[in-house]
């Protein structure tokens, strides 16, 4: 667990100590890299809590600490006393209580000024208040040596500075008034600009409505074209293939060697064109959402047996063997067998095309961590350069190699495989070494979990109609999201996915979750601050947050309000047991104790 670095301690016995606490808080904030506004906020919050200690529970003590070993670190101000405690703490924090002396206003103000505010008060045992503020992004990472240097610089500053502190407060007040005036002028200017642009926005909406109408009509035309093309293209191609086979079978008489060669070219061209049309139609149907998934239970061994007989005719050379490994120990798959067969036929066909000698081996393994099956097609062919391995999944893309002149293709098979795998809730993988061979794999869940189309409504994508308690999963890695979906499948929870903080806020507004599973290492986003926002919001603070990340800074996570902290990879048992505990009544009853133990 990350260590806590102590900067300074200030005793609170007299009124001058309250001023000293404010002064030290501002000085420490400045040395830690906070701006002038945050310095004033931190100093004000510290002095308000310190004044409560002086008025009701002196003597007390204020400690200034740095928590966390990764950026952004946390400035923590811990103020404690051994006084009588606070009798009506819940009413004070809810804004429902105010004494004649004004007690309670200072606590609420300090809570609003800081990123994180926790208080623990027991009758006769004193009160502990902890104020936390995330260091700004530009602040340097503080090490024990730098913290020691800050302590030395503080020791060199004067402490008896009542008049100086009052003057500093006056300057802060004047700066605040000047800033408010500047903000008011900015608001007036912004209002004028909004009025000027409002007419342009109205015109833009009208233009967008017109474009939307064009797109709707274009989509209808595309659908009609697909239905017509399905019939108009396939019918003449079928006729050409049938007539070519009749001629090659000598139904109408013998053919010369040249005639047989020419008719063979016609037949091969018609078959290639038919394959191209089929792939184009399949891709278009997937994009239009017109392909239905028909899951059913079947054994992988039975699928291999069918493929073995179906693909044997593709072996045109005795130097290449097609082998299928045993698949007897695998669980039954519940997915669309026809679409999985189509994916594997594409993989095997490509492997046979680009393998001169050796073997093409088909195998399958069970992935217990993902509750999925990986089916792989490995060849000893020409291989694919590393720089081109992602290009093969782009439509109409073919990689140049020594067999390219002999082997023709459409460049649509692999993109189609990737989209079909996505529809079945899985993914495709590729490992290849140039001159050694390639391994194409499809990973599918044991039970089909079809993925929604990218243009589907967010509610449908999140599984709004699925049973279970919603858990907001904020994770930007697709493979990890798939893993969490497998973990939560069949449990009392259902995942609601978000790839960014903005999406997480939208999902929360649409359906409040019972818990949050958060990765603090989202690309280009500061989810540490989002965590503090959640735990500082009275309406959302009770929702438990589980951090699952590669960043090893557990103490900072717990200090900012996380209810649990795990280093990836997180196991299914850990995730489910943690969610069960945090969403149960027992977790709520022990929340205060857990927070106290984490400090």
Cα–Cα distance measured from residue 284 to residue 278, given in angstroms and rounded to the nearest whole number? 10
Please state the three-class secondary structure of 459-517 as a single string. HHHCCCCCCCEEEEEECCCHHHHHHHHHHHCCCCEEEEEECCHHHHHHHHHHCCCCEEE
List average pLDDT for each run of 10 residues in the chain, which is 599 residues long: 79 88 90 89 90 88 91 91 84 69 68 89 88 90 90 76 59 70 81 77 80 78 63 70 80 82 81 68 61 82 84 72 87 88 87 86 90 92 81 68 53 79 87 89 82 41 63 87 85 91 90 92 78 88 90 85 88 90 66 41
Question: Given this model, what pLDDT does residue 456 score?
Answer: 38
pTM (2 d.p.): 0.50
Question: Given this model, what pLDDT does residue 62 score?
Answer: 94
* Listed residue (595, 589, 567) closest to 132, CA to CA: 595
Question: Given this model, what pLDDT does residue 66 score?
Answer: 92
Question: Given this model, what pLDDT does residue 264 score?
Answer: 83
Long-range pairs for 67-70: beta carbons < 8 A, 24 or more residues apart = 67/2, 67/4, 67/5, 67/132, 67/555, 67/556, 67/559, 68/2, 68/553, 68/555, 68/556, 68/559, 69/2, 69/3, 69/552, 69/553, 69/556, 70/141, 70/551, 70/552, 70/553, 70/556
């Amino acid at each position: 667990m990350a260590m806590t670095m102590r900067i300074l301690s200030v005793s609170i016995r007299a009124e001058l100590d309250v001023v000293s606490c404010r002064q030290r808080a501002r000085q420490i904030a400045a040395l830690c890299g906070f701006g002038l506004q945050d310095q004033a906020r931190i100093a004000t919050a510290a002095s308000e809590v310190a004044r409560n200690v002086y008025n009701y529970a002196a003597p007390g003590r204020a400690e200034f600490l740095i928590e966390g070993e990764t950026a952004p670190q946390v400035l923590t101000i811990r103020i404690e006393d051994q006084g009588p405690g606070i009798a009506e703490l819940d009413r004070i924090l809810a804004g429902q209580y105010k004494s004649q002396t004004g007690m309670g206003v200072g606590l609420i103000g300090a809570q609003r000024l800081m990123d994180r505010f926790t208080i623990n008060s027991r009758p006769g045992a004193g009160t502990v208040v902890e104020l936390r503020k995330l260091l700004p992004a530009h602040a340097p990472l503080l090490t024990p040596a730098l913290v020691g240097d800050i302590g030395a610089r503080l020791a060199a500053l004067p402490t008896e500075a009542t008049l100086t502190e009052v003057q500093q407060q006056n300057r802060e007040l004047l700066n605040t008034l000047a800033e408010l005036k500047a903000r008011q002028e900015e608001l007036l200017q912004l209002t004028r600009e909004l009025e000027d642009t409002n007419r342009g926005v109205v015109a833009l909406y009208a233009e967008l409505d017109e474009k939307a109408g064009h797109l709707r009509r274009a989509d209808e035309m595309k659908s009609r074209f697909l239905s017509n093309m399905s019939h108009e293209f396939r019918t003449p191609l079928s006729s050409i293939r049938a007539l070519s086979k009749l001629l090659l079978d000598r139904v109408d008489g013998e053919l010369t060697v040249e005639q047989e060669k020419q008719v063979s070219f016609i037949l091969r061209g018609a078959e290639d064109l038919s394959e191209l049309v089929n792939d184009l139609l399949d891709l278009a149907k997937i994009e239009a959402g017109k392909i239905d998934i028909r899951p059913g239970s079947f054994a992988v061994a039975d699928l291999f047996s069918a493929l073995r007989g179906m693909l044997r005719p593709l072996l045109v050379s005795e130097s290449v063997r097609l082998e299928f490994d045993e698949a007897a120990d695998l669980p039954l798959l519940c997915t669309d067998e026809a679409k999985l067969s189509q994916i594997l036929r594409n993989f095997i066909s490509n492997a046979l095309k680009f393998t001169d000698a050796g073997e093409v081996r088909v195998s399958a393994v069970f992935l217990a961590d993902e509750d999925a099956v990986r089916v792989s097609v490995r060849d000893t062919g020409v291989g694919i350069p590393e720089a081109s391995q992602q290009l093969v999944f782009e439509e109409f893309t073919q990689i140049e190699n020594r067999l390219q002149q002999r082997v023709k293709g459409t460049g649509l098979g692999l993109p189609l495989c990737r989209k079909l795998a996505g529809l079945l809730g899985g993914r495709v993988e590729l490992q290849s070494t140039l001159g050694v061979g390639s391994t194409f794999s499809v990973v599918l869940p044991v039970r089909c979990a079809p993925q929604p189309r990218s243009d589907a409504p967010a509610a449908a994508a999140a599984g709004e109609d699925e049973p279970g308690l919603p858990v907001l999963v904020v994770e930007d890695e697709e493979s990890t999201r798939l893993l969490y979906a497998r973990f939560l499948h069949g449990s009392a929870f259902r995942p609601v996915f978000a790839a960014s903080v903005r999406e997480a806020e939208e999902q929360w507004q649409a359906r409040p979750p019972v818990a949050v599973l958060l990765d603090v290492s989202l690309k280009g986003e500061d989810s540490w601050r989002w965590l503090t926002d959640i735990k500082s919001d009275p309406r959302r603070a009770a929702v438990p947050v589980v951090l699952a990340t590669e960043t090893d800074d557990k103490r900072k996570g717990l200090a900012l309000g996380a209810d649990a902290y795990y280093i990836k990879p997180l196991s299914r048992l850990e995730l489910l047991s943690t969610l069960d505990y945090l969403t149960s009544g027992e977790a709520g009853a022990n929340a205060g104790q857990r927070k106290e133990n984490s400090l």
